[in-house]
Structure 1
Amino acid sequence: MGKGQELWKRAKTVIPGGNMLLSKRPEQFLPEQWPAYYSKAKGCRVWDLDGREYIDMSIMGIGCNTLGYGDDEVDDAVRRAIDLGTMSTLNAPEEVELAQKLIALHPWADMARFARSGGEANAISIRIARAATGRDGVALCGYHGWHDWYLAANLGNAETLAGHLLPGLSPNGVPQSLRGSVFPFAYNDYDGLEELVRTQSIGVIKMEVSRNYEPEGDFLVRVRQLADAHGIVLIFDECTSGFRQALGGLHKVYGVDPDMAVFGKALGNGYAVTGVLGKRDIMQAAQNTFISSTFWTERIGSVAGVATLRVMEREKSWEKITATGREITARWQALGKKHGLPLTTAGVPALTSFALKLPKAQAYRTLISQEMLARGYLAATAVYTCTAHTPDIVDGYFEALDPVFALIRDCEDGRDVMSLLNGPVAHSGFTRLN
Structure 2
Amino acid sequence: MRKYWLKALKLIPSGNLLYSKRPEMFLPNKWPTYFKKSKDCYLWDLKNKKYLDMIFAVGTNVLGYNYKKLDNRIKQTISYGNMSTLNSYEEVLLAEELLKINKWAGKVKFARSGGEANSISIRIARAYNKKKQNVAACGYHGWHDWYLSSNLSNKENLDYYISKNIKINGVNKKLKNTVFLFRYNDHKRLEYLLKYKKIGIIKMEVERNIKPNKNFLEKVRKLANKYKAVLIFDECTSGFRQTLGGIHKNYNVNPDIITYGKAIGNGYAITAIVGNNKVMKACDETFISSTFWSERIGLVAALETIKIMKKEKIWKKIKEKGKYIKQKWKEIAKKHNLEIEVFGIDSIPQFKFKKNNNILKTFLTDQMLKKNILANNTIYVSLAHKKNVLERYFNELDKVFLKISKIKNIKTQIKLQEAHTEIKRLN
**TM-score exceeds 0.5:** yes
Residue aligning to 1:429 = 422
Q: Is the 8 A contact 2:153 2:177 kept in 1?
A: no
Instruction: Write out per-residue CA displacement over residues 8-28 of structure 1, whole angstroms, 9 at most, x where no aligned residue.
Output: 111111001110111100000
Instruction: Write out per-residue CA displacement over residues 136-189 of structure 1, whole angstroms, 9 at most, x where no aligned residue.
Output: 110000000100000000013221111111222122100100001000000000
Residue aligning to 2:160 = 163
Q: Which of 312, 331, 334 is the equivalent residue of 1:334? A: 331
Residue aligning to 1:189 = 186
Residue aligning to 1:141 = 138
Aligned AA (2:386): T
Per mean C-alpha deviation after superposition, the further-off stretch among 66-75 and 271-280 is 66-75
Aligned AA (1:307): E
Residue aligning to 2:149 = 152
Instruction: Write out per-residue CA displacement over residues 92-120 of structure 1, whole angstroms, 9 at most, x where no aligned residue.
Output: 00011001000100100110000000000
Q: Which of 244, 248, 251 is the equivalent residue of 2:245? A: 248
Residue aligning to 2:201 = 204
Gaps of 5+ in 2: none
- In the aligned structure 2, how far is the partner of 1:314 from the partner of 1:56? 25
- In the aligned structure 2, how far is the partner of 1:77 from the partner of 1:112? 23
Q: Is the 8 A contact 1:372 1:378 kept in 2?
A: yes
- In the aligned structure 1, how far is the partner of 2:414 from the partner of 2:168? 37
Q: Pairwise mapping of residues 354-393 of structure 1 onto structure 2 (< 5 A)?
A: 354-358=351-355, 360-393=356-389
Instruction: Write out per-residue CA displacement over residues 340-381 of structure 1, whole angstroms, 9 at most, x where no aligned residue.
Output: 1111011101111000011x2211111100010111210001
Q: Which of 99, 102, 119 is the equivalent residue of 1:103? A: 99
State yes or no: 1:42 paired with 2:39.
Answer: yes
**C-alpha displacement at 1:395, in angstroms?**
1.1
Matched residue SS, 1:227 = helix
Q: Which of 120, 123, 127 is the equivalent residue of 1:127? A: 123
Matched residue SS, 2:383 = coil
Q: Is the 8 A contact 2:266 2:301 kept in 1?
A: yes
State yes or no: 1:112 paired with 2:105.
Answer: no
When residues 417 and 379 of structure 1 are mapped into structure 2, their CA distance, relative to the original with a 3 A threshold, is farther
Q: Pairwise mapping of residues 73-84 of structure 1 onto structure 2 (< 5 A)?
A: 73-84=69-80
Q: Is the 8 A contact 1:154 1:170 kept in 2?
A: no
- In the aligned structure 2, how far is the partner of 1:38 from the partner of 1:131? 43
State yes or no: 1:51 paired with 2:48.
Answer: yes
Q: What number of residue pairs does the alignment pair up?
A: 426
Q: Is the 8 A contact 1:61 1:270 kept in 2?
A: no
Q: Is the 8 A contact 1:243 1:266 kept in 2?
A: yes
Aligned AA (1:432): R
- In the aligned structure 2, how far is the partner of 1:432 from the partner of 1:291? 27
Instruction: Write out per-residue CA displacement over residues 231-271 of structure 1, whole angstroms, 9 at most, x where no aligned residue.
Output: 11100000000001100000011111111000000010000
Residue aligning to 1:283 = 280
- In the aligned structure 2, how far is the partner of 1:183 from the partner of 1:270? 32
- In the aligned structure 1, how far is the partner of 2:413 from the partner of 2:11? 33
Q: Is the 8 A contact 1:112 1:275 kept in 2?
A: yes
Aligned AA (1:406): L
Q: Is the 8 A contact 1:363 1:425 kept in 2?
A: yes
Q: Is the 8 A contact 1:262 1:276 kept in 2?
A: yes
**C-alpha displacement at 1:417, in angstroms?**
5.5
When residues 270 and 185 of structure 1 are mapped into structure 2, their CA distance, relative to the original with a 3 A threshold, is same
Aligned AA (2:315): W
Residue aligning to 2:172 = 175
Aligned AA (2:421): S
When normalised by structure 1's length, the TM-score is 0.97
Gaps of 5+ in 1: none
- In the aligned structure 2, how far is the partner of 1:344 from the partner of 1:303? 40
- In the aligned structure 2, how far is the partner of 1:153 from the partner of 1:166? 14
Q: Is the 8 A contact 2:258 2:274 kept in 1?
A: yes
Residue aligning to 2:217 = 220
Residue aligning to 1:24 = 21
Aligned AA (2:3): E
Q: Which of 3, 7, 10 is the equivalent residue of 1:6? A: 3
Q: Is the 8 A contact 1:324 1:385 kept in 2?
A: yes
Aligned AA (2:32): P
When normalised by structure 2's length, the TM-score is 0.98
Q: Is the 8 A contact 1:167 1:431 kept in 2?
A: no
- In the aligned structure 2, how far is the partner of 1:307 from the partner of 1:387? 15
- In the aligned structure 2, how far is the partner of 1:205 from the partner of 1:21? 27
When the two chains are superposed, the root-mean-square deviation of aligned CA atoms in Å is: 1.0
Residue aligning to 1:91 = 87
Over 3 Å off, 4+ runs: 415-421
Aligned AA (1:131): A
Identity score, percent: 46
Matched residue SS, 1:39 = strand
Q: Is the 8 A contact 2:140 2:426 kept in 1?
A: no
Aligned AA (1:264): G
State yes or no: 1:320 paired with 2:317.
Answer: yes
- In the aligned structure 1, how far is the partner of 2:175 from the partner of 2:255? 26
**C-alpha displacement at 1:419, in angstroms?**
3.6
Aligned AA (1:71): Y
**C-alpha displacement at 1:418, in angstroms?**
4.9
Aligned AA (2:168): P
